[in-house]
């Protein structure tokens, strides 16, 4: 897929336009070559050089004078002036008809196949021919692409130092590259002065070793901008690799001009593969002197975005940072690091899950214990009493034969079935009474109700109690009796015969206090 049309303007003072013979100025006769002119003349700078003011144009009356320009694209439009149509137009070695001069249009070449082309204007007579600028149609961007065309500018001087994006090579013992003094200003047509970008200036002395080297990537076209003056000359820029699979492409540019201009296109390329990494090397051209000077201030890079069609290039591209330096490739994590990160994440999830489950279980247990403590209910059957028992002379604590030890994490059970029966002699009436206690313990709110007088069984013999009291030591004075509604005494279970109590044991009634729970007095 060919890129979309994109117009650029190359002015007559550009070093990319090759003039034959070369540019002249001053008192040299117009017929000697191409004379450099400006719409507002020239002005002296602070250094004594003559600077052009306004727009430039080059004119000649010399026989066989010519100008030529090479580009990659589909069309070219040459603007200028001529006293008649005594010039010829040549495109890629083929002559085309000279158009009728209209609106300063000297030549118009359109509908060319997208590719590398060269246009040449020759002056076979002695009439006046003037060149002002050339509009070229190149290719930038692709139809259907959402990528927005971007222009990045890489300065030659960054933070007062030579930008490391460029490699400045000293090819002669006493010459090299240096920063142009800061503070240069361009004179405008209205007399005002405007600061210009700071430049790097150096000598292009060697025809074999490059004096300036830089790399370009993610680029569809680029423009090296700088000044033209009387110290310049012909130089050659080598692009590696070249276009369309060629190993290299050499382009000659000439920055020699009798009139100073701070901002012109020195060298440019278009039709690049943005996925390719290009290297540019600038040397002195054959036939030039050994004292050619070159100064530049900016490299403009146009990025059209990727081609929607699959690229045939296998060369990867690198991004360019704000300073113009290619950003280093970001290293990928090794497989071991990826596996370690994955295992760490899985372990972290497992630990968090276990912690959450433990917290929920502990919260549920604390909630259950809190409910039991808040209700003030401690089941009598199957639990130990935390209240101290009364002691007398020669007495030991009464053993609770009904108690089973429960786990500390298990809340007290209110179920009668979960505990063994007190003894085989417990009557149905006692079990019923215990069930009433269970229903009383689980009901809310807690309220005592008098069960009435206890009815002794017919087989009960009052001598049992008399014999028990005769064998026991004299008891301490009994405390004041509580109200009938707060006293509950359990009957002594009957048996088939007299069962004397063990020595030094005392039978005590069980009292229920609403605020303290079960206790033994």
Strands 23-24 and 34-38: parallel
| 402-453 tens-digit pLDDT | 444 444 444 444 443 444 444 444 455 656 655 665 555 555 555 555 555 6
- Count other C-beta atoms under 10 Å from residue 192's C-beta: 9
Question: CA-to-CA distance for 392 and 399, rounded, in angstroms?
Answer: 15
What's the distance, Cα to Cα, between the start and end of the chain in Å? 106
Torsional class of 258: left (φ above 0), alpha (ψ -120 to 50), beta (otherwise): alpha
| 183-202 tens-digit pLDDT | 889 999 999 999 999 999 99
Task: Identify the three-state secondary structure at position 301.
Answer: strand
Tell me what the pLDDT averaged over the chain comes to. 76
pTM over the 0.85 mark: no
Residue carrying the six token digits 């008399």? 466
Task: Identify the three-state secondary structure at position 486.
Answer: helix
**Which runs of E-coded beta strand occur in 39-158?**
42-44, 50-52, 56-60, 65-82, 88-91, 94-96, 105-109, 115-123, 129-139, 150-155, 157-158
| 288-330 tens-digit pLDDT | 766 789 999 999 999 988 877 654 443 333 334 434 444 444 4
CB 456 within 8 A of CB 490: no
Residue 294 is predicted with a pLDDT of 94
Token output for 320: 């360019």
Residue 286 is predicted with a pLDDT of 81
Give, in order, the Cα–Cα distances in Å from 197 to each of 154, 182, 231: 12, 9, 19
Torsion sign (Cα): 16, 20, 22, 27: negative
Torsional class of 12: left (φ above 0), alpha (ψ -120 to 50), beta (otherwise): alpha
| 146-164 tens-digit pLDDT | 888 899 999 999 999 999 9
Token output for 359: 């917290």
Q: Which carries the bigger pLDDT value, residue 377 or residue 100?
A: 100
Task: Identify the three-state secondary structure at position 122.
Answer: strand
The half-sphere exposure of 442 on its side-chain side, counting CA atoms within 13 A, is 10
For the chain, give every domain's residue range: 5-303, 377-433+502-521
Superfamily of domain 5-303: Galactose-binding domain-like (2.60.120.260)
Token output for 402: 């009904």
| 57-70 tens-digit pLDDT | 999 999 999 999 99
């Amino acid at each position: 897929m060919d890129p979309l049309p994109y117009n650029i303007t190359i002015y007559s003072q550009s070093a990319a336009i090759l003039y034959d013979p070369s540019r002249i100025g001053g008192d040299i006769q117009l017929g000697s070559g191409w004379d450099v002119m400006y719409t507002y003349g020239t002005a002296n700078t602070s250094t004594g050089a003559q600077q052009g003011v306004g727009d430039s144009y080059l004119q000649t009356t010399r026989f066989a004078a010519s100008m030529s320009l090479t580009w990659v694209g589909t069309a070219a439009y040459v603007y200028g002036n001529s006293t008649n149509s005594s010039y010829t137009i040549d495109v890629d070695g083929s002559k085309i008809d000279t158009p009728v001069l209209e609106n300063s249009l000297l030549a118009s070449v359109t509908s060319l196949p997208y590719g590398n082309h060269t246009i040449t204007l020759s002056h076979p007579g002695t009439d006046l021919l003037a060149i002002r600028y050339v509009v070229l149609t190149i290719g930038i961007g692709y139809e259907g692409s959402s990528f927005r065309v971007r222009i990045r500018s890489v300065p030659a001087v960054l933070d007062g130092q030579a930008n490391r994006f460029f490699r400045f090579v000293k090819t002669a013992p006493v010459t090299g590259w240096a920063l142009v003094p800061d503070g240069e200003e361009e004179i405008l047509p209205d007399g005002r002065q405007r600061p210009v970008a700071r430049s790097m200036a150096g000598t292009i002395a060697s025809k074999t070793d490059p004096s300036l080297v830089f790399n370009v990537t993610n680029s569809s076209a680029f423009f090296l901008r700088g000044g033209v003056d009387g110290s310049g000359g012909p130089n050659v820029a080598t692009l590696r690799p070249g276009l369309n699979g060629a190993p290299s492409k050499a382009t000659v540019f000439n920055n020699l001009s009798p009139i100073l201009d701070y901002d012109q296109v020195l060298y440019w390329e278009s039709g690049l593969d943005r996925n390719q990494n290009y290297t540019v090397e600038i040397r002195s051209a054959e036939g030039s002197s050994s004292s050619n000077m070159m100064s530049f201030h900016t490299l403009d890079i146009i990025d059209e975005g990727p081609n929607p069609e699959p690229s045939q290039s296998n060369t990867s591209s690198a991004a360019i940072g704000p300073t113009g330096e290619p950003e280093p490739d970001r290293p990928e994590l090794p497989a071991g690091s990826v596996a370690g990160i994955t295992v760490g994440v899985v372990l972290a999830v497992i630990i968090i899950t276990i912690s959450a489950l433990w917290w929920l279980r502990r919260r549920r247990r604390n909630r259950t214990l809190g409910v039991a403590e808040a209700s003030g209910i401690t089941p009598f059957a199957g639990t130990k009493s935390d209240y101290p028992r009364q002691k007398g002379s020669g007495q030991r604590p009464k053993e609770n034969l009904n108690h089973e030890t429960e786990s500390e994490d298990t809340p007290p059970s209110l179920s009668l079935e979960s505990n063994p029966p007190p003894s085989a002699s417990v009557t149905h009436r006692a079990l019923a009474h215990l069930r009433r206690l269970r229903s009383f313990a689980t009901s809310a709110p807690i309220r005592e109700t008098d069960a009435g007088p206890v009815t002794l069984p017919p087989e009960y013999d009052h001598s049992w109690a008399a014999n028990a009291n005769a064998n026991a030591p004299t008891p301490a004075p009994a405390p004041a009796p509580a109200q009938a509604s707060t006293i509950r005494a359990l009957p002594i279970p009957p048996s088939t015969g007299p069962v004397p109590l063990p020595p030094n044991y005392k039978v005590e009634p069980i009292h229920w206090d609403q605020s303290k729970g079960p206790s033994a007095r």
